[in-house]
Chain A
Amino acid sequence: MGRKLTVNGAVHDVDVAGDTPLLWVLRDTLGLTGTKYGCGIMACGACTVLVDGAATRTCALPLDAIGEQQQVTTIEGLAGTSRDPVQKAWAELSVAQCGYCQSGMIMSVVALLAEHPDPSDAQIAAGVTNLCRCGTYQQVRRAIRRAAEATRDA
């Protein structure tokens, strides 16, 4: 029953039922707990990862929907503390409060900035629909701007 799954550049053999959501494969099978469970209906975005660079919610996405050639990137696969421009901006502005939604938020922003290096307010609003119950959105917007500037200046 095993199949291959590429996560953060590493190829894993996973032996779980193909209808298992990718989120739970990442968390319970591969031990990558940075990606979070929030709702189970892909409504909140806490489970967001990149699949071939596209922000993708995974809590109800069956493993079978991911091709063996596709590249999954989780929060653990970004460059690491303070090196990725989005993570760096997040830390500099102390965006996180409880922090639980922020992995998914950051992955959405990485995808947003890849598509729109200088996003408009409307593009930010359309591209970042992750829910944050603490309500960090003002700092999120600031951090997106800072990360965009850092990326352009780099």
Chain B
Amino acid sequence: MRDASARLTRRAFLRGAAVLSFGLATAPRLLRAGAAATPFTPSALLSIETDDTVRIVMPHADLGSGIYTGLAQVLAEELDADWERVVTVHLDSLHDDLKHPQWGVIATGASTSVASQWQNLRETGASARAMLVAAAADAWGVSPASLVTRDSTITDPASGRQARYGELTAAAARRTPPAAVTLKDRSQFTLIGRSLPRLDRHTKSDGSAVFGIDVQLPELRHAAIAHAPAFGGKLASYDGDAARAMPDVEAVVAIPTGVAVVARSWWQAKRALETLDIRWEDGAFAHKSSADLWREYETLAASDGPSFEQRGTLDFDAASAVVEGEMRFPFLAHAPMEPLNATARVDGERCEIWAGTQFQGIDVANLAAATGIAAEHITIHTQWLGGSFGRRAAPHADFLVEAAQVAQTSGLPHPVKLLWQREDDVRGGLYRPMALHRWKIGLDGDGRPAHWRHRVVCASISKGTPFESAFYVDGFDRLSIEGLIHTHYAGSNVDFQLHTPTHPVSVCWLRGEADTHTAPVVEGIVNRLARRAGADPFAYRRALLGDEPGTARTRGVLDALEHAANWAEPPPDGIFRGMAVHTSFGSVCGFVVELARRDQTLAFHKVTAAFDCGVVINPDAVRAQVASSVAFALSMALGQEITIEQGRAVQGNFNDYPVATLAQVPDVDVHLVDTGLDHPTGVGEVPVSPFLPALAAAVEAATGREVDRWPLRLDGYTIANV
């Protein structure tokens, strides 16, 4: 039913991202080779030790979703490795083998880790297996094709001879990698598709996992920092004499983004920081508030902006009826549980960094630019990340650069761990952008959209960053409009416009990205149009989606969701339902939310999810991501927002920037849907966005009031779980 021209064909989310390579020339480190007890290291990703340990270097950071386990499953599958001997290690080099296969740089993001490495890791495992098999075949004088591999053991069925991988490392290392490998058919998988326990389950249950904040080094010093309180502000002057006189304080330094104290303990650095007499120079933005920003956004939304998607001719006079609406979204801070930190040692011509980061390949370029140290003399030792949600993919590597600058400026020969206070993080910007959507839709006689004008007001995330050329497509930042552009719901007359205001409040990707506002808008519109047409929301969506191949996965998820949630059965008295489905990061996820209303209290009755993420590597891990995404989304719904007064963020900590609690977050009944895709697609961010409109629809059904802003304004209602 959609008249999609070639220009409107949905583009791969990050097709342009190949230019991310950043022109960074790094000398690959030489792989160890040659010694008698040498491990077999066919790639920087993989090393098989003589004791049968299979060591896999993780090319991506695990922000918590469990990709270390998932990536290991993928490689170990084709290697036929003994899963009990698989260990994963953080990367600490920038070898080419570790680059994001699509982006050409070492980085983690956009829920691409497993999807992007799928082919690469399988080929790495299969190639290593072939070399081991060839080594055994040579030794035994048999054909490689006659040998069988399983659990890191090669067996010759004819003779019964066996060899462990660890016995063959030296021989395998002398072989040439095969020109081509045959990968397993899905029916042959023994590791992929199994809910194997996470490899990090013990160290993350006994306190021994080392996060960036936990790094211990000889002569380690600690730093705390003060940043300009107003966005756009800068340091005017400071008096550090009192702080310098305090015991254990070793340096007070100004760097471009603030003033830092270096001491022998972090608490002492923080206490000394509080004694500093700092004068900040506020910029022009210090007169601005959220109310001012919203007024500017409303003015923009009232007028035409440049069109990012346009076809047909809008004619609202020709419509049977016209609906209008708007929805607004606040700035959101990532607030990962581990406050931002990095440890830096800068001595002469070298810089070493210990940190949890998503962006090693990009960080190095930023660090080189900030310190003047050549990129090849900068090393990043990746640590566990105490959450990120995109914050540790900092386009300008802010917290790493600050650590390096503090270490460098202080002139101390020691490593310095710079730890931000929670308030530095919540008030520090790089927020999910605030956004205003305003729409006017003319309906046809069946109550379906026939003329759709839509205006988005949203600051650009990628403008002025190394990613601008990757994310700007046809003059528009896709990070503002993904999830709305090319929606299959729109009719034949469309004019979608984007206004891109600028302000000193810095913005960044946050778990779910633009879909965290486009999905609540698009799905919210469709839910209201269905209600207006007196149609069932599943049936109404199917009618809009038609039967074109591009909507097959969405239809598959709708079918599974409708069945799993027993939607055909009307809800009992007092239960109010809502649903939504959304495609993002290559995957499709839908929710049905059921709320029980008692007086003014809404309690979760049941939450059902259906999720198609292609080939599922680890079903339990995927289910956990869906359930935990609901918690993340619920925080957005129930109270999180960053507001601005006098150019400053009002909120500063978890007391005024609330995270949903165990008591508030419902269990989620997750159904994984296989619509036949032959590869994995995104997981970690996907379920956040569709939960929001499903919740909104249930709230609208229960309260009779339309949701037009986030977090929800419940007008006397409260949402509770237990």
Q: Which of B52-79 contact A (CB under 8 A)?
A: 63-66
Chain B residues positioned under 8 Å from A96 (CB to CB): 64, 198, 200-201, 204-205
Query: A33-B214, A140-B662 in contact; A38/B339 too (CB < 8 A)?
Result: yes
CA distance A106 to B207 in the complex (A): 10
CB distance from B104 to the nearest CB of A (A): 27
**Contact between chains at B338 and A100 (CB < 8 Å):** yes
Q: How many residues of A are counted as interface, with CB atoms below 8 angstroms from the partner's CB atoms?
A: 61
Checking B205, B387, B632, B662 against A95 with a beta-carbon cut-off of 8 angstroms, the contacting residue is B205
Query: A94-B198, A97-B64, A128-B662 in contact; A135/B337 too (CB < 8 A)?
Result: no
CA distance A16 to B659 in the complex (A): 33
CA distance A4 to B604 in the complex (A): 49
**Stretch from B374-382, B451-459, B566-574, B620-628 that touches the partner:** B620-628
**Contact between chains at B624 and A136 (CB < 8 Å):** yes
CA distance A92 to B661 in the complex (A): 23
**Contact between chains at B653 and A131 (CB < 8 Å):** no
**Contact between chains at B207 and A75 (CB < 8 Å):** yes
Chain A residues positioned under 8 Å from B629 (CB to CB): 135
Q: Which of A57-97 contact B (CB under 8 A)?
A: 74-76, 78, 80-82, 87, 90-92, 94-97
Checking A41, A87, A98, A132 against B631 with a beta-carbon cut-off of 8 angstroms, the contacting residue is A132
**Contact between chains at B209 and A91 (CB < 8 Å):** no
A117 at interface (Cβ–Cβ under 8 A)? no
CA distance A138 to B604 in the complex (A): 14
**Contact between chains at B338 and A41 (CB < 8 Å):** no
Query: A90-B201, A140-B662 in contact; A98/B384 too (CB < 8 A)?
Result: yes
CB distance from B508 to the nearest CB of A (A): 16
Checking A20, A33, A81, A134 against B210 with a beta-carbon cut-off of 8 angstroms, the contacting residue is A33
**Contact between chains at A39 and B654 (CB < 8 Å):** yes
B170 at interface (Cβ–Cβ under 8 A)? no
In the complex, which of the residues A40, A87, A132, A135 has the most CB atoms of chain B within 10 Å of its own CB atom?
A: A135
Checking A80, A125, A133, A139 against B722 with a beta-carbon cut-off of 8 angstroms, the contacting residue is A125
Checking B388, B621, B667 against A94 with a beta-carbon cut-off of 8 angstroms, the contacting residue is B621
**Contact between chains at B267 and A20 (CB < 8 Å):** yes
Checking A43, A80, A133 against B336 with a beta-carbon cut-off of 8 angstroms, the contacting residue is A133
Chain A residues positioned under 8 Å from B213 (CB to CB): 33, 36-37
**Contact between chains at B653 and A135 (CB < 8 Å):** no
CA distance A67 to B663 in the complex (A): 33
Chain B residues positioned under 8 Å from A36 (CB to CB): 211, 213, 337-338, 386
Type the 1/0 row for B412-456, where 1 means its CB is closer than 8 Å to any CB of A.
000000010110000000000000000000000000000000000
Chain A residues positioned under 8 Å from B630 (CB to CB): 135
**Contact between chains at B207 and A34 (CB < 8 Å):** yes
Chain A residues positioned under 8 Å from B336 (CB to CB): 98, 100, 133
CB distance from A31 to the nearest CB of B (A): 7
CB distance from B227 to the nearest CB of A (A): 16
Type the 1/0 row for A14-37, where 1 means its CB is closer than 8 Å to any CB of B.
001000110010001101111111
Chain A residues positioned under 8 Å from B201 (CB to CB): 90-92, 94-96
CA distance A94 to B620 in the complex (A): 9
B17 at interface (Cβ–Cβ under 8 A)? no
Chain B residues positioned under 8 Å from A129 (CB to CB): 661-663
Chain B residues positioned under 8 Å from A100 (CB to CB): 211, 336-338, 384, 386-387
**Contact between chains at B628 and A136 (CB < 8 Å):** yes
B312 at interface (Cβ–Cβ under 8 A)? no
Checking B211, B267, B621 against A28 with a beta-carbon cut-off of 8 angstroms, the contacting residue is B267
CB distance from A18 to the nearest CB of B (A): 12
B467 at interface (Cβ–Cβ under 8 A)? no
Checking B338, B631, B654 against A135 with a beta-carbon cut-off of 8 angstroms, the contacting residue is B631
A113 at interface (Cβ–Cβ under 8 A)? no
**Contact between chains at B668 and A138 (CB < 8 Å):** yes
**Contact between chains at A44 and B654 (CB < 8 Å):** yes
**Contact between chains at B216 and A98 (CB < 8 Å):** no
B316 at interface (Cβ–Cβ under 8 A)? no
Q: Across the two chains, which residue of chain A brings its CB closest to B422?
A: A39
Chain A residues positioned under 8 Å from B267 (CB to CB): 20-21, 24, 28
Chain A residues positioned under 8 Å from B214 (CB to CB): 33
**Contact between chains at B655 and A41 (CB < 8 Å):** yes
**Contact between chains at B337 and A92 (CB < 8 Å):** no
Type the 1/0 row for B193-228, where 1 means its CB is closer than 8 Å to any CB of A.
000011011111111111101101000001000000
Q: Across the two chains, which residue of chain A brings its CB closest to B62?
A: A98
CA distance A141 to B267 in the complex (A): 34
**Contact between chains at B202 and A82 (CB < 8 Å):** yes
Type the 1/0 row for A99-119, where 1 means its CB is closer than 8 Å to any CB of B.
111110010000000000000
**Contact between chains at B660 and A135 (CB < 8 Å):** yes
CA distance A87 to B211 in the complex (A): 19
Checking B265, B384, B389, B663 against A99 with a beta-carbon cut-off of 8 angstroms, the contacting residue is B384
A124 at interface (Cβ–Cβ under 8 A)? yes
CA distance A1 to B142 in the complex (A): 76
**Contact between chains at A125 and B663 (CB < 8 Å):** yes
CA distance A121 to B339 in the complex (A): 31
CB distance from A69 to the nearest CB of B (A): 24
CA distance A141 to B664 in the complex (A): 12
B665 at interface (Cβ–Cβ under 8 A)? yes
CA distance A66 to B65 in the complex (A): 37
Q: Across the two chains, which residue of chain A brings its CB closest to B659?
A: A131
Checking B198, B265, B419, B659 against A29 with a beta-carbon cut-off of 8 angstroms, the contacting residue is B265
Closest 10 CB pairs of A and B: A34-B207, A135-B631, A100-B386, A99-B204, A98-B64, A135-B628, A97-B64, A75-B207, A96-B204, A125-B663
B interface residues, Cβ below 8 angstroms from A: 63-66, 197-198, 200-211, 213-214, 216, 222, 265-267, 335-339, 384-389, 419, 421-422, 620-621, 624, 627-632, 635, 653-655, 659-663, 665, 667-668, 721-722
29 contacts between A and B (CB under 8 A): A21-B267, A32-B207, A33-B214, A38-B337, A39-B422, A39-B654, A40-B422, A40-B653, A41-B653, A76-B207, A76-B208, A78-B206, A91-B202, A91-B205, A94-B620, A97-B66, A98-B64, A98-B336, A99-B205, A100-B336, A100-B384, A122-B722, A125-B661, A129-B662, A131-B661, A134-B64, A134-B387, A135-B627, A137-B662
A interface residues, Cβ below 8 angstroms from B: 16, 20-21, 24, 28-29, 31-41, 43-44, 46, 74-76, 78, 80-82, 87, 90-92, 94-103, 106, 121-122, 124-126, 128-141
- Please name 18 further chain A to chain B contacts, defined as beta carbons within 8 Å, in addition to the given A91-B205, A125-B661, sorted by A numbering: A20-B267, A34-B206, A36-B386, A37-B339, A38-B422, A39-B653, A40-B421, A41-B655, A94-B66, A96-B201, A96-B205, A98-B387, A100-B338, A129-B662, A135-B660, A137-B661, A138-B628, A140-B662
